[in-house]
Amino acid sequence: MTHGSKVTRVQSVPAENLSFAKRLRRNMTATERILWKVLRRNGIDGLHFRRQQVIAGYVVDFYCDAAKLAIELDGGVHQEQWKYDEERDKAISQIGVRVLRISNEAMLESEAVIDHIRKVLRSRRRT
């Protein structure tokens, strides 16, 4: 595992982005809480995740540095802001981070979602 990656250690993050990320951590949605229960404390294959990580100026819901994987849980607002999300995902992917989007509805089948995340993590760690 690489320590001190540019995503988690070296990037310059404006104070307002840090403040926004902290606010989001304190006010997680119900589906974020469900997924965080699984991801926290290295819950999938011993991999460490961060909540509300700032990447390329954007805040992602969850981030695993070892796999360079960002996970976004999408509720209804994302149907209206798809263009923003598309631009955001492109900026994040340009620094080598894959964005995995999961709908809030899919979280109702959380075991299937966790299996999918596990498969994506394993494929990312091989690259």
Per-residue pLDDT reduced to its tens digit, 20-70? 556 666 678 889 999 999 999 999 999 999 999 999 989 999 999 999 999
Alpha-carbon span 95 to 88, nearest angstrom:
12
Whole-Å CA distances, 39 to 47, 77, 87:
8, 24, 26
Domain boundary assignment for the chain: 6-126
106 has pLDDT over 70: yes
Confidence band of 125 (pLDDT split at 50, 70, 90) = confident
Q: What is the pTM of this model?
A: 0.80
- Look-up: residue for tokens 């951590």? 25
Mean per-residue pLDDT over the chain, rounded: 84
Distance CA 52, CA 60 (A): 5
Q: What is 6-126's CATH number, 1.10.1740.10, 3.30.110.40, 3.40.960.10, 2.60.40.10?
A: 3.40.960.10
Does pLDDT of 95 surpass 80? Answer: yes
Q: Closest Cα to residue 31, out of 80, 73, 61? A: 73
Segment 14-18 mean pLDDT: 68
Per residue in 68-80, pLDDT tens? Answer: 999 999 986 656 6
